[in-house]
Amino acid sequence: MIQTLLAFLVALTLLVFVHELGHYLAARWCGVKVLRFSVGFGPALFSWRVGPDRTEWTLSAIPLGGYVKMLDEREQGASAIPSADLPRAFSRQSLGRRAFIVVSGPLANFILAIGLYGVINLIGVDEPAAVVAPPPAASAAAQAGFTGGDRLVTIDGRDVRSWNEVRLQFIDGLIERRPVAVGVARGAEQLTLSLATDSLPPGELERDFLRTLGLELGGGRVRIASVTSGSAAQRAGIRAGDEVIAAGGAPVTRPSQLIDLIRANPGRPVGLDIERDGVGLRIEVMPDAAASERPGEQGQTIGRIGAGIGARVAMVDVRYGPLESLQRAVVRTWDMSVFSLRMLGKMVMGELSWRNLSGPVAIADYAGQSSRVGWYAYLGFLALISISLGVLNLLPVPVLDGGHLVYYGLEAIRGRPLSERSLELTQKAGLAVIGLMMAVALFNDLSRLIGS
């Protein structure tokens, strides 16, 4: 819990600071006087003044956001501003300068994401190689012609080396529900297979969509990653690190085979052929009966043995040179930004469940999980949330940066700013939209928390 909380606070403080720093630096570059730079809202915990303008830097009690307060006639009133400072008021700046100051916050988030992805690409990480297990006979992957041991080399023309890159590149085709062109290396043979995605049920992006299509990580052995104390697995003598060669008399080549067999046999013995430290063993385990928690399976009884089941697979060192690291970071940031917008658009159109919207509780959970995996996972999490923050702020909703850009666009068309009454009404509507989104996100977070 402490690690999760710290990881969340570090992430939130960093991302908000970078966003507001973008606004601040742009304002200073344009000659606008900045009165306050605040990370967080509410009462100030710490504050100090810096620079010739005596800008107040503040760390506030509520860390869910921040702001940069600039000299502005609309807020302070022209009569309250010394005449010498009026040219430095935000409201006195040209339309282009005001738009530049507003857009610089989201831009800073995108630059941060590029930097984080670039560091990951440059330092390199070990990731599971893009090798597939034998697909189930009735799956879309089997129908497309995939076989066990195939190494995936391209997805829709883009090079992939690791399983994580495969997942990322598949998303575009899944959103469009179109066939995905997959380049495959099969021994010395090079093939291009077309994998249909229209068989995916609605909402499958929330789960393991590659497995549903029949693509699972292969090139290794099914491995027991962990055993829960007092579980059926422990009672049977199964240990973490055991490799399962066969189950129920049939060879096991992928984790889902073993998982499905266990789920299908509550209260019935399942024979496992295991290799432990080079020695073959025969173990019989009796899965405990439990209620299924999967969507669409409410009320069904399944088997569980209380073990984490994964795979020991071939790994690949994914790293690039400085220029390619930066280029790939830019492309990935762009792809994830477009993906975020398209996901939001599909939620608005009713083509995707609003359950995909996450709030602070889910973000804190992901922060804690990624920090426990390792530095590279945490940096990747920071990059993804930074992109999401940048995209969210560019939405054309009043009170967000994108809403202000809409105001400036209308001002350019009309030749004059919107009236105070129009601004007031649209700001209230914008607050209502943001409040509704936050309520839905928090409801989703609590539903996941209670459901788990």
Residue-wise DSSP of 317-374: EE---HHHHHHHHHHHHHHHHHHHHHHHHHHHTTSS-GGG---HHHHHHHHHHHHHH-
Higher pLDDT: 110 or 201? It is 110
Catalytic residue, candidates 20, 73, 75, 420: 20
- Residue 390 and residue 407: Cα distance in Å, rounded? 19
Averaging pLDDT over each range in 219-228, 258-267, 424-433, which range is the top one?
Answer: 258-267
- Contact of 182 with 192, CB cutoff 8 Å: yes
- Contact of 302 with 266, CB cutoff 8 Å: yes
Tokens of 168: 């990322």
Is residue 268 very low, low, confident or very high in pLDDT (cuts 50, 70, 90)?
very high
- pLDDT tens digits along 124-175: 888 888 988 888 888 999 999 999 889 999 999 988 988 888 988 887 787 7
* Count of other CB atoms within 10 angstroms of residue 45: 12
- 20 given a catalytic annotation: yes
- Contact of 286 with 236, CB cutoff 8 Å: yes
pLDDT exceeds cutoff 80 at 335: yes
Q: What is the mean pLDDT of residues 76-80?
A: 77
- Residue 314 and residue 218: Cα distance in Å, rounded? 8
Q: Which domains occur in the chain, in start order?
A: 94-124+321-452 (no CATH), 140-213 (2.30.42.10), 221-296 (2.30.42.10)
Phi then psi dihedrals of residue 269, to 5 deg: -65, 140
Is residue 264 very low, low, confident or very high in pLDDT (cuts 50, 70, 90)?
very high
- Residue 60 and residue 42: Cα distance in Å, rounded? 6
pLDDT exceeds cutoff 70 at 354: no
pTM, rounded to two decimals:
0.77
Is residue 449 very low, low, confident or very high in pLDDT (cuts 50, 70, 90)?
low
Averaged confidence pLDDT in the chain: 86
Higher pLDDT: 5 or 151? It is 151
Is residue 445 very low, low, confident or very high in pLDDT (cuts 50, 70, 90)?
low
- pLDDT tens digits along 49-74: 988 889 999 998 887 788 999 999 88
The sign of the dihedral angle between the CA atoms of 58, 63, 68, 69 is: negative
Q: What is the mean pLDDT of residues 282-309?
A: 85
Give percent of the chain with pLDDT exceeding 90: 43
With tokens 């190689």, the residue in question is 129
Give percent of the chain with pLDDT exceeding 70: 92
- Residue 58 and residue 13: Cα distance in Å, rounded? 12
pLDDT, position 374: 80
pLDDT, position 316: 84
- pLDDT tens digits along 383-438: 999 999 999 999 999 888 999 999 999 999 988 888 888 888 988 888 888 888 77
Rounded alpha-carbon distances, angstroms, from residue 105 to 34, 270, 310, 396, 425: 15, 57, 41, 15, 24
Q: What is the mean pLDDT of residues 17-21?
A: 95
- Residue 154 and residue 160: Cα distance in Å, rounded? 5
Hey, which bits of 102-195 come out as E strands?
A: 125-128, 151-155, 158-159, 180-186, 189-195
Q: Which long-range contacts (CB under 8 A, 24 or more apart) does 169-172 make?
A: 170/209, 170/210, 171/205, 171/339, 172/335, 172/339
Residues 6+ apart with CB under 8 A from 313: 128, 129, 131, 217, 218, 219, 220
With tokens 């710490």, the residue in question is 46
pLDDT, position 310: 78
pLDDT, position 359: 67
pLDDT, position 3: 81
Within the chain, what is the greatest distance between any pair of CA atoms?
A: 88
- pLDDT tens digits along 196-213: 988 776 555 556 788 888
- Contact of 228 with 234, CB cutoff 8 Å: yes
pLDDT, position 296: 60
- Contact of 39 with 13, CB cutoff 8 Å: yes
pLDDT, position 81: 84
pLDDT, position 201: 66
